[in-house]
Amino acid sequence: MAPKRKRKPQRDKTNRDLNRETLFREINRSGFGTERYLPFSREMVARVKMPDIERKVEMAWQTLEHAIDLKDYRISLLLDSLQEAQEQRRSANNAHVEIIDRTLLAHQARLQRIDTLFYGNLETTLAHKVRRLKDINDCQNEEEIALRKINLLVNYRGVNASSVARSTAISKIDAFMEDGKNETRIITTQLQNKLENLWNHLRNIFSDYLQRTQDRRKAYETIKKKDEVDLQTITRQYLRTATLLEETAKFRETIHSYRIESAIRIREITQQANSFHNIYRETNQRFASGCKIDKHRITSMSKEYSRTVENLKGWTMKAQRILALVKISRKYETQDEKILPTIDCHPALQLPTTEIDVPLLEMVTT
Residue 167 lies in a domain: no
* Structure confidence at residue 44 (pLDDT): 62
Report the range of poorest mean pLDDT among 72-76, 111-115, 126-130, 358-362: 358-362
* Structure confidence at residue 53 (pLDDT): 59
Residue 195 lies in a domain: yes
Model confidence at 42: pLDDT above 70: no
* Mean pLDDT along residues 180-206: 78
Residue 129 lies in a domain: yes
Residue 165 lies in a domain: no
* Mean pLDDT along residues 243-249: 85
Model confidence at 284: pLDDT above 50: yes
Model confidence at 366: pLDDT above 50: no
* Structure confidence at residue 355 (pLDDT): 40
Residue 38 lies in a domain: yes
Model confidence at 3: pLDDT above 60: no
Residue scoring higher pLDDT (169 or 315): 315
Model confidence at 251: pLDDT above 60: yes
Residue 229 lies in a domain: yes
Model confidence at 340: pLDDT above 60: no
Residue 271 lies in a domain: yes
Model confidence at 31: pLDDT above 50: yes
Model confidence at 342: pLDDT above 50: no
Model confidence at 51: pLDDT above 70: no
* Mean pLDDT along residues 250-273: 84
Q: Where does the pLDDT of residue 115 fall: very low under 50, low under 70, confident under 90, or very high at 90 and above?
A: confident
* Structure confidence at residue 232 (pLDDT): 86
Report how many domains make up the chain.
Answer: 1
* Structure confidence at residue 338 (pLDDT): 52
* Structure confidence at residue 22 (pLDDT): 77
Q: Where does the pLDDT of residue 1 fall: very low under 50, low under 70, confident under 90, or very high at 90 and above?
A: very low
Q: Tell me the pLDDT tens digit for each residue of 305-330.
A: 888 888 888 888 888 888 888 777 77
* Structure confidence at residue 34 (pLDDT): 62
> What would the 3-class secondary structure string for the chain be?
CCCCCCCCCHHHHHHHHHHHHHHHHHHHHHHHHHHHHHHHHHHHHHHCCHHHHHHHHHHHHHHHHHHHHHHHHHHHHHHHHHHHHHHHHHHHHHHHHHHHHHHHHHHHHHHHHHHHHHHHHHHHHHHHHHHHHHHHHHHHHHHHHHHHHHHHHHHHHHHHCCHHHHHHHHHHHHHHHHHHHHHHHHHHHHHHHHHHHHHHHHHHHHHHHHHHHHHHHHHHHHHHHHHHHHHHHHHHHHHHHHHHHHHHHHHHHHHHHHHHHHHHHHHHHHHHHHHHHHHHHHHHHHHHHHHHHHHHHHHHHHHHHHHHHHHHHHHHHHHHHHHHHHHHHHHCCCCCCCCCCCCCCCHHHCCCCCCCCHHHHHHHHC
Residue 354 lies in a domain: no
**Mean pLDDT over all residues of the chain?**
73
Percent of the chain beyond pLDDT 70? 72
Model confidence at 265: pLDDT above 80: yes
Model confidence at 8: pLDDT above 60: no
Residue scoring higher pLDDT (336 or 94): 94
Question: Which of 17-31, 53-67, 123-137, 153-167 has the highest mean predicted lDDT (pLDDT)?
Answer: 123-137
**131 lies in which domain range?**
15-156+188-326
pTM of the model: 0.27
